[in-house]
Structure 1
Amino acid sequence: MRFNKLDLNLLVALDVLLKERSVTRAAEMLNLSPSAMSNSLSRLREYFEDDLLVQIGRKMELTPRAERLQEAVRDVLLRIDSTIAAPPAFEPQHSDRMFRIFSSDYTQLVLGPPMLSLAAKQGATVRFEFAPQVDQPHRYLERGEADLLVIPTGFMSPDHPREVLYEENFVCMVWRDSAIAKGELSFERYVAADHVVMQPGSGRSDAFEGWFLKRYGITRRVGVLTYSFITLPALLVGTERVATVHERVARRLTGAWPLEIRPTPMKIDAMEQAMQWHKFRTNDPGLTWLRGLLGEAARRMDEF
């Protein structure tokens, strides 16, 4: 099929070439031979009158024209996938679809069990993949690499729809046998203590509570940095450190480790945890089902 003399099949090849920046890897992704993919690149170069990919040292880099095309091509393919190619109905009991959800290990701990339990009760045969937190997560929606984001509203893009799932409060945790566990955890003791802090793997952005505390001019001495919300409480054992933790994580892990929960000595606003999806996929029947599943899981999460 052609549009303005462009073979539309080449758009798929162009999308993968611009993402992979390699003829060989793009060929593997599309189950084509390298020579067939090289021929597609030649035809694309001829149509756009641009090299699109150029060899610089050992890498292939995008030309300025290719950089401008990258997001537009992805949007076109996403629109086709979510409107023309999407099936008119979705039956989770007869689907092998893989849903990719970007979320933290905290979200998987508190929301994953009720979500998967509800899916099992429905007899759903779909599959799920949880992917880790990343910087600029909306980019993964826009490239079609994520079906849903489950993240705090403060980190969401204004360009795509969202739905708040639940609110989460924060508490402090300390080792049960520590000196800091004795008596009230005052503001002065909190600020003077070493802290165990979660920081996303990229190291370029803070978790919600760290961002909030910085915003209000409160600084903490960080003794331990970890990339995981779930291991954070365990790293307190045997130390005089403090951790500021999601309350649901704290409640679930106090039985697993000799830890105690303390209220935060300053007010921390509740975190809004929400799901976000690409605006072009609002009417995708599969995603509509998934959003409903997550909404029900959030309503029942404290039963687990």
Structure 2
Amino acid sequence: MRFKQLDLNLLVALDNLLALQSVSAAAERMNMSQSAMSNALTRLRTYFDDQLLVQVGRRMELTPRAVSMQAPVRDILVRIEATIDTAPEFDPLGADREFSILLSDYSLTVLMPRVFALAHEIGANVRFRLVPQTAHPYQLLEKGEADILIAPESYVSEDHPYERLYIDEYVCVVWSESPLAGQPITRDAFAKAGHAIMVPPNSAGSLEAEMLARLGFERRVEVRSFSFSTLPFLVVGTNRIATVHRQVADMAAQHLPLDIQPLPFPADPLVQTMQWHSYRDADPGISWLRELILEAAKGLKPIDPENIPDR
């Protein structure tokens, strides 16, 4: 099919070439031969009268024309995909569909086991692909690379609908035999103690670190982990403190010798949300998944509107 003499089949090839900036990688993603993808690129260059991808040293870079086309082409394909995927109704028992969920290891630990258990309970015939959160997670949502984003409210985009799931608070966890255990941790003790912290491996921000920075706290960091859920394990047998979510602390305390104490200063709670692309607002499959996630979140700490700051 052609539109203004452009073979519309080439749009998918163009989208992958612009995203990956590699003929071989684009060919692999589309299950094409490299020669076929090279031929597609040649046809695209002829149509647009632009090189689109140029060799610079050992890598290929986008031309200014290609950069200007990247977002519009992706937007067009997301709209088409949303239209195709939106069936009149969705039956999770007879479906053959994979949902992509963008989330942090915190949500993976706290929320997703409940989601999977509910899906299993009703016999849902669906698959899940869990994608690690990035520095700007809503961008992957806008590109159509994720169906649902689960993230703190401060990380979601104003351009797409979202819904609050639950709140969680931050607490201190220490080894039960640490001198810090058994009594409230003071601001002075918090400042002098060694800390185990989480540093995201993919340039994503840490809400907990941002919060402490705003409050003017500089911790003496002795351990850096790439996972929030590991922090309680890493303080056992030491005198260190880890600042984690209450949900993570309570789960870890069921298996580890830990003492949980409140933070020695006031802190905003975590407001956990889920977001989806506005084009998929009427997708029955996405609607079903949203309801499933909401039901799973009910077993966690409920939302108290008075405790949630305005965004």
Deviation at 1:86, TM superposition (A): 3.0
Distance in 2, matches of 1:150 and 1:142, equals 14
Matched, 1:28 2:23: no
The secondary structure found in structure 2 opposite 1:65 is helix
Give the count of matched residue pairs.
Answer: 302
The secondary structure found in structure 1 opposite 2:107 is helix
Partner of 2:284: 285
Deviation at 1:62, TM superposition (A): 0.9
Deviation at 1:209, TM superposition (A): 1.7
The secondary structure found in structure 2 opposite 1:167 is strand
Deviation at 1:206, TM superposition (A): 4.0
What amino acid is the match of 1:250?
Answer: A
Superposition pairs for residues 1-304 of structure 1, below 5 Å?
A: 1-84=1-84, 86-202=86-202, 204=203, 206-301=205-300
Distance in 2, matches of 1:206 and 1:226, equals 14
Percent identity for Structure 1 against Structure 2: 50
Distance in 2, matches of 1:205 and 1:7, equals 38
What amino acid is the match of 2:192?
Answer: A
Distance in 2, matches of 1:139 and 1:184, equals 41
Distance in 2, matches of 1:162 and 1:205, equals 20
Deviations 1:142-194 (A, max 9, x none): 22211111110111122221111110111111111111225331111111111
Gaps of at least 5 residues in structure 2 are: 303-311
Deviation at 1:128, TM superposition (A): 0.8
Q: TM-score, normalised by structure 1?
A: 0.95
Work out whether residues 171 and 263 of structure 1, in 8 Å CA contact, stay in contact via their aligned partners in 2: yes
What amino acid is the match of 1:117?
Answer: A
Distance in 1, matches of 2:230 and 2:111, equals 17
Distance in 2, matches of 1:258 and 1:205, equals 30
Gaps of at least 5 residues in structure 1 are: none
Deviations 1:5-30 (A, max 9, x none): 21111111101111222222222222
Distance in 2, matches of 1:174 and 1:225, equals 16
Deviation at 1:300, TM superposition (A): 2.4
The secondary structure found in structure 2 opposite 1:92 is coil
Distance in 2, matches of 1:133 and 1:221, equals 26
Work out whether residues 17 and 26 of structure 1, in 8 Å CA contact, stay in contact via their aligned partners in 2: yes
Distance in 2, matches of 1:85 and 1:176, equals 51
Q: RMSD between aligned alpha carbons?
A: 1.6
Distance in 1, matches of 2:19 and 2:45, equals 16
Distance in 2, matches of 1:15 and 1:158, equals 25
The secondary structure found in structure 1 opposite 2:136 is coil
Work out whether residues 167 and 272 of structure 1, in 8 Å CA contact, stay in contact via their aligned partners in 2: yes
Distance in 1, matches of 2:169 and 2:188, equals 21
Distance in 1, matches of 2:217 and 2:11, equals 51
The secondary structure found in structure 2 opposite 1:179 is coil
Deviation at 1:103, TM superposition (A): 1.1
Distance in 2, matches of 1:130 and 1:35, equals 32
The secondary structure found in structure 1 opposite 2:298 is helix
Deviations 1:26-75 (A, max 9, x none): 22222222222222111111111100011112211111111111111000
Deviating more after overlay: 122-131 vs 21-30: 21-30
Deviating more after overlay: 219-228 vs 164-173: 219-228
